[in-house]
Every structure is written in structure tokens, then in C-alpha cells.
């Protein structure tokens, strides 16, 4: 980009005056900035505004292929020393005709492989003005990010997303501000509270009726019983038009949301304190939606007390593509407990004596689990790896490949550990090269990886693994499958294309922020670009067995994918689009994911443990593509998107 910088018509730009004495102006529009501004591509032009009423620099982006078009802003000479500040903020105006998202990235002096930057974005309607604030050490939603050194800021970047039409914005100011070590503000609803011993109401808990109780056509109060609070709910008689409205009371956290990820249910002790039999109804509320309504099996007579258990998991499994099926409750964002009762033309009184989150008793697993598929048929076991030896079966598994999911870590054979009848994929803080190859990327974290690309594939069947999930924050373990059409098709991208009948099956995909009792299943298809489609369920609740393992399986037949955990069906999708392409097995342990928290080095190393992998094929579905692949194939590039 080349342009001639013209001084602004106005001598003073009031918007450039810092908002406080502690702010520092980083762009003075009255000076020549031509050497400090550079577009990211020929799609982008930059000109100074000549309108005194609308000062700043104008950025115009033409339609084109660039993913993140914008401008780079360099310091005048040496890197900026912003050690006395906590953030950089830009005030921008959308001067175009379409909504845009403008991001501000602040670049440090670190190794580019570590992504040494922090960034935030602001969404602007046409004509709207907004401020995007990037706090040092945080990125995108003020989540903890790269530990940028503010004393050595080498570049700043303002950019948008790919432009299909002309986009434009004006930069009105760019300043550093805030105190050193600044922390992002926390919205009250974003606060997460883990109740001590799981108690939401009961011993040791003091509630505030004014802030924690909401009433809808009902009355509630907190009363003292045996030295602790109880919740009294009075539901008036219902008649006439009043019968059309809801009668309910909701108990809420003191602030934010309850984080109940260490539990799978809430136990509520309720007493009928009225004069007539009553049928109470209870459910949990959350950011993602409520639990099922739960009622006792019979009305409670006057004075009768009963414990009612509200499971996080819905009684209706996730029938993908059908609304109203599957679990909606988000276990770490529970916003309330709602209590009501069947409507009758008489007053009813309920006394809620205690509310506690808990784990159910360890379930008894079905006898068929691990021994056969979940449905009858003429099945043949086609793969059975118990990991009982001291070395990996290299005719079946590979530990190397590209890491498409996590640019902070590399795959290493040293992090695939056999012993005790299991294989452990380890994630650790250890500098090294991807695939233990000095010619490949170097990162500061190492991880284990297993896949069968070039070695084994199967179309249709039942696929099962018994696994123990890591607990360290920020990790993303998964058991999944990807297409493989075989070496005769050509390069890897053709072999593993999820279009043309192919599909990614995520049999068990977990983000450690969710806790050990929840995971995701999904299917991705029609490629990973503009035609990409997906379907799945991210609230699969499960209780590990007595040894801490979960056993997850996929029953894949023509037009059908049915998912199981610990012997119970948890989700299904029946559709002609279900994959008909042979697929490989994968176990991955990157960091990150779409809904995770930050990695904590102090909790590393962590391990994703696999006890066994077993696969069956129904004889009438078998094909020549099933089983081990020819050893002569040379392409071992890795798998996935």
C-alpha cells in the first residue's frame, strides 16, 4: 500500500485527547503516518479523513479472498513500552453499508509459533461507533490468553472478516490506558459459584429472600427450622382466568450461576405444609435451558415429606433433527430451581427443607457391554486391542500426524505410554518438535496421539472404547472417526473428504471445563468450508464406573448412527446422509476447544487413558475395504480437519 499522508484540516482532534491523564495516545493523526501504516493485502486501502467533523483514518476493504483484511500499525521507531498500562483501545466507526466485526490485535515480541498476541473485537451496525478494548493477557471475550509483555509491543492490527462486499471503517483514536496488571470486568451473570458440599439450601447456607427468590402468582418466604433456613411457598387457589397463568417460585444463586459440574442430579426435600394433597413439580433452570419437570409418583398428603431427585439428563434421548429431545441443562451454568404444583381450586403450601447437588450411586453396567454390540445380529469381532503388552501394535496404530486442532502442542511418541493393560495419552509441558521431527514445528507442549490412517478402516459396524478422561483444565480429549477411501483415491484430502458421502463421527468429545460427567457427540459432513454442516448434542451426561472409566460406542449402519455410553443409548440420527465411506479410528488430546477454559501448567501432566478398543462388523455389511490396509502405503500425513 502506498499513499500520501495529508495533515488533518483541524489543528486539534478532541477524540485523540486521552480519557484520563493516565492514557497514552498511540496514533497522532496530525503527524505523517505513512511509514507506520501498512495494509494486509491489496484489498485494503487507507486514507486520512479530510472531514474535521469526522477525523481519523479511513480503511476501505474491497471484496476478495483474504480471511482477515485490515491494517498493521507500527510504532514510531522502537517498540512501544506500555508497561505502565493495562490495555489498548481503539474507537472505530462503521462507515459501510453492512454490519461488520472489527478486531484489535496487539502483538508482542515473542516467537510467532506461540501466537504472541492478544485480541478483542466489537460488532458494529452501519453508522455505529464502538470501542474495542484489548486487555494485556486476554483475548476474545476476555478469556485468559498469551502472557503478552506490554513493555515490548511491536505491532497493532485492526481487521475485519472476509469481505464479500465492500467494507469500511474509520479509526477515530488509538490509545493505551488502564492500570498495569488490569483484569477484565466480570459481568455478574458470568460468575460461577460452586456450593460448598453441594448444598444450595440447608445447613451452613444463608439465603437472601429479596435477591434470591422470584415469585410468579405465588408467595414465598424464608423461615427458620431447626436452626437453618427453609423455603415456604404459598400457592393460592386457582379459578377462572387465574388458571391460565403459571404459579411458581424460583430459588436463584446469590450471584451469577451455580457450577454443579461435579454432580449429576439435585436432591430436594419437600414437605406438604398445607391442608390438601398436592403434587409438587420441580425443575432446574440454566443458560442452555431447563431440566425435565420432575414430580413424585403420587400426591403428597398433608404433612408428608419426600425427597425429589432432579437429574441433569433428560429422560428423552437426543433424537437429532427432532426438536424437544435430549438434555438442555448446562451443568456449570444453573440459574435456578423452580417449584410449582398442579393447579387446583384450593390453597396449597409447600416447604422446601433442603436442596443439594450430588452424584447418584455408581450404576450397574449391563452384561453385554464390551462383549458384543447392543443389538442382535450376525456379528464378528474385527478389532480388539486390550493394550496388554509393553509395545504398541504398529500394524494397527500410528502416533504421528499433523496437529490441526492445537497450534500450541506437538505429537510425540514419548507421550503414548503403555502399561498396566491401558494406553495413556499424556499432555505435558515439554518443548519439542511435531512428530519428533526437527524439520517440523516446535512448540512448548507435547501430547500423545493415536490413529489408524493407512493401517485400518471399516465401513459400518459397532465401535466401542473404554476411557478415563483427564481433569486438568483446558484439554480436549476425543474418540472419533474420519473417512478413508484408500490409497487408490489419491492424496489425503481426497481420501478423508467429509463430502461425497463421507462424515466425521465424534463418538466422545470432551472439554475438561465441563467436568468428568458430560461430553459431546457430533457429526460433521459436506466438507469444512462453506458447505459444512453438523449435527450433535453437547450435553451428554454420564456417570463413570467404579474405576472412573466411561465406555462409549457408535452403532453405525446404513442411514443410522446410534450412540451409546455405559450401555445406554444417548443419541441417534437416522438419515440417508449418514456416511457410507470406510472410516478410521482416532484418539486425540489437544488443548483448546470451543467452550473450554485455559490450560493450567501447574496441573500438568495430564492423561487420557484408553483401556480397550473393540470393533464388530455385521456379516451382511462387510466389505473389501474393511480391516488392515496394505503395509506398502507411504503417505502418513495425519488425519482430520
Mean pLDDT in residue range 60-71: 95
Please, how many CA atoms are within 13 Å of residue 616, restricted to the half-sphere of its CB?
Answer: 20
* pLDDT beyond 60 at 284: yes
Enter the pTM of the model.
0.80
Question: Is-contact 305 257, C-beta < 8 A?
Answer: no
End-of-domain residue from the set 177, 203, 237: 177
Residue 306: give its domain's CATH number: 2.60.120.430
* CA pair distance 326, 323, nearest whole angstrom: 9
State the pLDDT confidence band at 16, using cuts at 50, 70 and 90.
very low
* Segment 310-359, tens digit of pLDDT: 999 999 999 998 999 999 999 999 999 999 999 999 999 999 999 999 99
Residues 106 and 70 placed together within one structural domain of the fold: yes
Give residue 289's pLDDT band: very low, low, confident or very high (50, 70, 90): very high
Residue 5 has pLDDT above 80, yes or no: no
SS (H, E, C) 112-127: HHHCCEEEEEEEECCC
Q: Are residues 445 and 544 in the same domain?
A: yes
Residue 423 and residue 333 share a domain: no
Residue ending a domain, choose from 117, 151, 177: 177
Q: Are residues 54 and 160 in the same domain?
A: yes
How far apart CA 440 and CA 427 sit, in angstroms, is 19
Residue 561 is predicted with a pLDDT of 98
From 99-108, 261-270, 415-424, 595-604, the region with the lowest mean pLDDT: 595-604
- What tens digit of pLDDT does each residue of 353-389 get? 999 999 999 989 999 999 999 999 999 999 999 999 9
Distance (Å, whole) CA 350 – CA 247: 12
Residue 4 in this model has a pLDDT that exceeds 50: no
Query: Does position 2 have pLDDT exceeding 60, yes or no?
Result: no
Is 5 within a domain? Answer: no
Is 3 part of any domain?
Answer: no
pLDDT(19) > 60: no
Which pLDDT does position 522 carry in this prediction?
Answer: 98
How far apart are the C-alpha atoms of 551 and 567, rounded to whole Å?
8
Kindly indicate the confidence band of residue 427, based on its pLDDT and cuts at 50, 70 and 90.
very high
Last residue of a domain, one of 147, 177, 207: 177
Predicted confidence at residue 3, as pLDDT, reads 35
Grade residue 629 by pLDDT with cuts at 50, 70 and 90: confident
pLDDT at 11 over 70: no
Which residues make beta-bridge pairs with 221?
A: 232
For residue 305, give the C-alpha cell: 415429606
For residue 166, give its domain range: 14-177
Q: Does 429 share its domain with 501? A: yes
What is the CATH number for 395?
Answer: 2.60.120.200
User: 532 and 623 share a domain?
Assistant: yes
To the nearest whole percent, how much of the chain has pLDDT over 90?
84
- Evaluate whether residue 536 is within a structural domain: yes
Helix (H, G, I), strand (E, B) or coil at 426: strand
**pLDDT the model gives residue 247:** 94
pLDDT value at position 114? 75
Q: Is the pLDDT of residue 459 over 70?
A: yes
Residue 632 has pLDDT above 50, yes or no: no
DSSP E strands in 69-212: the ranges are 70-73, 87-94, 100-108, 117-124, 129-135, 138-139, 143-144, 153-159, 167-177, 192-193, 199-201
Residue 454 falls inside a structural domain: yes
**What does the pLDDT look like over 191-245, one tens digit per residue?**
999 999 999 999 999 999 999 999 999 999 999 998 999 999 999 998 765 556 7
Cα separation, 112 vs 170, whole angstroms: 29
pLDDT for residue 631: 60
342 and 455 within one domain: no
> Is it the case that residue 308 has pLDDT exceeding 70?
yes
Assigned domain for 615 exists: yes
Domain co-membership, 402 together with 319: no
pLDDT digits (tens, 9 = 90+) for 464-512: 999 999 999 999 999 999 999 999 999 999 999 999 999 999 999 999 9
Q: Do the domain assignments include residue 187?
A: no
pLDDT given at position 243 = 57
> Is there a single domain that holds both residue 311 and residue 402?
no
Mean pLDDT of 84-113: 94
Instruction: Say how far apart CA 244 and CA 237 lie, in whole Å.
Output: 13
- Residues 354 and 457 placed together within one structural domain of the fold: no
> What mean pLDDT is reported for the chain?
92
User: Is there a single domain that holds both residue 93 and residue 22?
Assistant: yes
Q: Which of 47-56, 159-168, 209-218, 435-444 has the lowest mean pLDDT?
A: 47-56
pLDDT score of 14 more than 60: no
Residue 377 included in any domain? no
Are residue 405 and residue 289 in the same domain, yes or no?
A: no
Task: Say if 611 falls within a structural domain.
Answer: yes
Task: Encode pLDDT of 141-194 as tens digits.
Answer: 888 888 999 999 999 999 999 999 999 999 999 999 999 999 998 888 889 999
Number of domains in the chain: 3
Amino acid at each position: 500500500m502506498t499513499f500520501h499522508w495529508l495533515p488533518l484540516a483541524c489543528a486539534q482532534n478532541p477524540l485523540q485527547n486521552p480519557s484520563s491523564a493516565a492514557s497514552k495516545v498511540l496514533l497522532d493523526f496530525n503527524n505523517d503516518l505513512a511509514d507506520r501504516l501498512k495494509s494486509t493485502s491489496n484489498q485494503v486501502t487507507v486514507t486520512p479523513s479530510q472531514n474535521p467533523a469526522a477525523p481519523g483514518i479511513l480503511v476501505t476493504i474491497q471484496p476478495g479472498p483474504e480471511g482477515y483484511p485490515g491494517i498493521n500499525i507500527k510504532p514510531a521507531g522502537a517498540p512501544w513500552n506500555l508497561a505502565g498500562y493495562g490495555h489498548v483501545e481503539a474507537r472505530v466507526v462503521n462507515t459501510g453499508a453492512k454490519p461488520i466485526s472489527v478486531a484489535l490485535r496487539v502483538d508482542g515480541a515473542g516467537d510467532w509459533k506461540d501466537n504472541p498476541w492478544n485480541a478483542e473485537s466489537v460488532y458494529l451496525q452501519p453508522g455505529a461507533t464502538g470501542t474495542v478494548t484489548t486487555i494485556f493477557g486476554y483475548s476474545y471475550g476476555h478469556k485468559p490468553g498469551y502472557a503478552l509483555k506490554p513493555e515490548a509491543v511491536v505491532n497493532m492490527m485492526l481487521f475485519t472478516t472476509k469481505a464479500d462486499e465492500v467494507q469500511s471503517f474509520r479509526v477515530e483514536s488509538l490509545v493505551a490506558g488502564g492500570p498495569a496488571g488490569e483484569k477484565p470486568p466480570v459481568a455478574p451473570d458470568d460468575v460461577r459459584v460452586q456450593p460448598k458440599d453441594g448444598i444450595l439450601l440447608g445447613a451452613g447456607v444463608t439465603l437472601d429472600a429479596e435477591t434470591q427468590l422470584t415469585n410468579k402468582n405465588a408467595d414465598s418466604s424464608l423461615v427458620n427450622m431447626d436452626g437453618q433456613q427453609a423455603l415456604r411457598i404459598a400457592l393460592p387457589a386457582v379459578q377462572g382466568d387465574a388458571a391460565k397463568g403459571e404459579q411458581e417460585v424460583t430459588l436463584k444463586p446469590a450471584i451469577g450461576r451455580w457450577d454443579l459440574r461435579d454432580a449429576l442430579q439435585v436432591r430436594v426435600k419437600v414437605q406438604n405444609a398445607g391442608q390438601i394433597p398436592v403434587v409438587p413439580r420441580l425443575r432446574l433452570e440454566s443458560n442452555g435451558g431447563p431440566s425435565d419437570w420432575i414430580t413424585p409418583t403420587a400426591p403428597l398428603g398433608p404433612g408428608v415429606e419426600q425427597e425429589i431427585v432432579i437429574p441433569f439428563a433428560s429422560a428423552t434421548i437426543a433424537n437429532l433433527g427432532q426438536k424437544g429431545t435430549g438434555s438442555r441443562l448446562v451443568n456449570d451454568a444453573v440459574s435456578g430451581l423452580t417449584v410449582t404444583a398442579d393447579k387446583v381450586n384450593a390453597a396449597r403450601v409447600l416447604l422446601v427443607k433442603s436442596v443439594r447437588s450430588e452424584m447418584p450411586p455408581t450404576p450397574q453396567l449391563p452384561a453385554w457391554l464390551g462383549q458384543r454390540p447392543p443389538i442382535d445380529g450376525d456379528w464378528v469381532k474385527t478389532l480388539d486391542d486390550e493394550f496388554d503388552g509393553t509395545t504398541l501394535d504398529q500394524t494397527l496404530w500410528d502416533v504421528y500426524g499433523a496437529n490441526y486442532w492445537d497450534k500450541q502442542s506437538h505429537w510425540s511418541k514419548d507421550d503414548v505410554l503403555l502399561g498396566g493393560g491401558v494406553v495413556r495419552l499424556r499432555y505435558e509441558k515439554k518443548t519439542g518438535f511435531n512428530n519428533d521431527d526437527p524439520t517440523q514445528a516446535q512448540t512448548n507442549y507435547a501430547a500423545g496421539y493415536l490413529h489408524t490412517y493407512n493401517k485400518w478402516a471399516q465401513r459400518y459396524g459397532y465401535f466401542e472404547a473404554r476411557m478415563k478422561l483427564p481433569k486438568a483444565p483446558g484439554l480436549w480429549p476425543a474418540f472419533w472417526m474420519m473417512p478413508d477411501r484408500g490409497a487408490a483415491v489419491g492424496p489425503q484430502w481426497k481420501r478423508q473428504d467429509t463430502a461425497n458421502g463421507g462424515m466425521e463421527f465424534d463418538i466422545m468429545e470432551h472439554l475438561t471445563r465441563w467436568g468428568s460427567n458430560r461430553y459431546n457427540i457430533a457429526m460433521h459432513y459436506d466438507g469444512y468450508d462453506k458447505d459444512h454442516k453438523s449435527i450433535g448434542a453437547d450435553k451428554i451426561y454420564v456417570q463413570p464406573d467404579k474405576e472412573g472409566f466411561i465406555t462409549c460406542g457408535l452403532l453405525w449402519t446404513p442411514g443410522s448412527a446410534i450412540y451409546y455410553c455405559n450401555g445406554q443409548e444417548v443419541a441417534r440420527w437416522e438419515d440417508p446422509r449418514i456416511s457410507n465411506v470406510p472410516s478410521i479410528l482416532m484418539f486425540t488430546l489437544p488443548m483448546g476447544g470451543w467452550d473450554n477454559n485455559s490450560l493450567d501448567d501447574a496441573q500438568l501432566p495430564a492423561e487420557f487413558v484408553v483401556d480397550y478398543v473393540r470393533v464388530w462388523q455385521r456379516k451382511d455389511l462387510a466389505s473389501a475395504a474393511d480391516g488392515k490396509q496394505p503395509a506398502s502405503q507411504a503417505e502418513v500425513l495425519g488425519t482430520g480437519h
